[in-house]
Structure 1
């Protein structure tokens, strides 16, 4: 019995069958090698992006825009009131900082609006007015930050508080005017939040009474000084033997008025100080101060008449002196 031989060539299997032909004369079928056919790489189809879900902000109608502007003012009214009602400088500083934050927030809210086309460039100009508010406050509070009066005296807290509140009011008025100018007719921004003008404290408006004796020391004499004040400021006339800080007597003379100082003794010098905002406690003018004296000594044996203003043909020279 013949054996069956299996030959593996490549991937084909050839089996020799039972045949009468000699094995040496058999021809083998050519081997076939099958190479796997490459599959084409599929091109990915782009996935379409989903439609945007961000809503498009529609422009406000003119009526809606006007309402938004009015709401902005409403949101600031209470902050302005807190500032104007502050009883002390410390309370004022806290309220002012809160108002500045509120102004900034309203500027942001207005900046997020989509104004109607009719607003044109006015909307951007109104936002610039809000941006200028902080610098406006700094400028308008400069006077209240000074601790000395114009005459170098300590400034009263009531005066500083008045000046500070007035500075904030001025900034609110400036902001309102700029917004109204930018947005045009029909916008009355600031009408509700602008506070009324404040009444100055007595330290800023004080005046002595004409002929009021401010100081008197020592015995009385028989001398008389008739005084006419033709100047534009109130004056305190001081009679002293040598220096004005040690007066024999002093008297208040309002501008455009006359008065007499009686009871002067001996020879003396005449000093005078002028100004505004009379402080009766310290017996000083606190603003616009000027200090002078007549150069010549007055003989107490005579009565004298002096006119406080330049006079044609006047015969008495004066000089500036140190504050007293």
Structure 2
């Protein structure tokens, strides 16, 4: 349970509470893919390699990356995305071992070292972000989150690819390219995103004392959170007042980043909660979404809506 401030006009009772519990994600049940085969013979080519021989090695690496990288574009579930990320990371680690066994001419030494470094960075990024990415895919959608992973992979390798191109060498042509990321959208503080059903004289003043933007849903008693009477957007550290609320209602709020305007949801860092208490009709309330030891309102985690 978490304690929050929720005061009905004219009521001064405040009850203390403990610290906010830390949420621990459940371990994933999906199995990771097996290690990818080496991009070429385990016996390094005779060196030092010149431009033509090094290009041949880069071509072999591209061929090995093709299958695992394409899997990122075909996943349909959050678990499948996490599994594909692990497979790409394992493939990159295999490639890194192969590159470490090569020797190149002095002219290629700088870009060779850079490529090894960036491949290591890309593999580490995929490995460290797998759990968070899987969670984001559940709230923001698998296709969109997969495209974010693909963009990050290209970003991690970009500096090495550019340097190789300057030496007339080619690498990374088999990496998926989802195109540029969509422009970020952030509604104004207090924007009413949904208003439907009965109106009344009730009102609630909501302060978002957290570091994330939130979308608060005012849901009529007995209705699902996906069908709110009112949904209002509140930017971090801002306050707004919603008026003309009809009947008894419940307060749900979801927080996160990377707002999806068409779906009215966050695509990353998602959290979904509701106040346990019922808010009475035709009353004025003040609510602060930041947990506090002086709060008198409990909240619980709920399923994504």
- TM-score normalised by L of structure 2: 0.53
Q: Any stretches of 5+ residues in structure 1 without a counterpart?
A: 1-58, 81-88, 91-99, 178-187
Among residues 199, 215, 229, which one is paired with 1:236 in the alignment? 215
> RCO greater where, 1 or 2, for CA within 8 Å and sep 6 or more?
2
Q: Tell me the CA shift for residue 224 of structure 1.
A: 1.0
CA distance in 2, matches of 1:236, 1:165: 27
Residue 141 of structure 1 and its aligned partner are, at CA, apart by: 6.4
> Does residue 1:216 correspond to 2:195, yes or no?
yes
> Offset of 1:276 from its aligned partner?
1.2
Pair 1:322 & 2:273 matched: no
Partners of 1:225 and 1:304 within 8 A in 2: yes
Q: Which of 134, 157, 179 is the matching residue for 1:171? A: 157
Which residues of structure 2 form unaligned runs of 5+?
A: 1-46, 63-72, 75-90, 173-178
Query: Separation in 1 of the partners of 2:252 and 2:139?
Result: 20
Please list the CA deviations of residues 144-195 of structure 1 after superposition, one character each: whole Å capped at 9, or x if unmatched. Answer: 9x9976151463756544531431231243xx49xxxxxxxxxx95594999
Q: Which residue does the alignment assign to 1:256? A: 237
Decide which of 125, 129, 138 is 1:152's aligned counterpart.
138
Contact 2:207 2:288 in 1 (8 A): yes
Deviation (angstroms), 1:241: 2.2
User: 1:85-104 counterparts in 2 under 5 A?
Assistant: none
1:216 and 1:238 map into 2 onto residues whose CA distance is 10
Change (3 A) 1:217 1:148: farther
The 1:305–1:191 alpha-carbon spacing in structure 2 relative to 1, beyond 3 Å, is farther
Q: How big is the shift at 1:257?
A: 0.7
* 1:305 alignment counterpart: 286
Q: 1:124 to 1:250 in 2, by over 3 A?
A: closer
- How far, CA to CA, are the matches of 2:298 and 2:103 in structure 1? 70
Give the RMSD, CA atoms, in angstroms.
4.9
TM-score (norm 1): 0.50
Counterpart-to-counterpart distance in 2, 1:250 and 1:132: 44
How many angstroms apart in 2 are the aligned matches of 1:163 and 1:315?
Answer: 41
Report how many aligned residue pairs link the two structures.
216
Change (3 A) 1:272 1:148: same
Pick closer, same or farther for the CA change 1:307–1:191 going to 2, 3 Å: farther
Secondary structure, counterpart of 2:303 in structure 1: coil
Q: Check the 8 A contact 1:147/1:154 in 2, yes or no.
A: no
Q: In structure 2, what is the equivalent of residue 47 of structure 1?
A: none
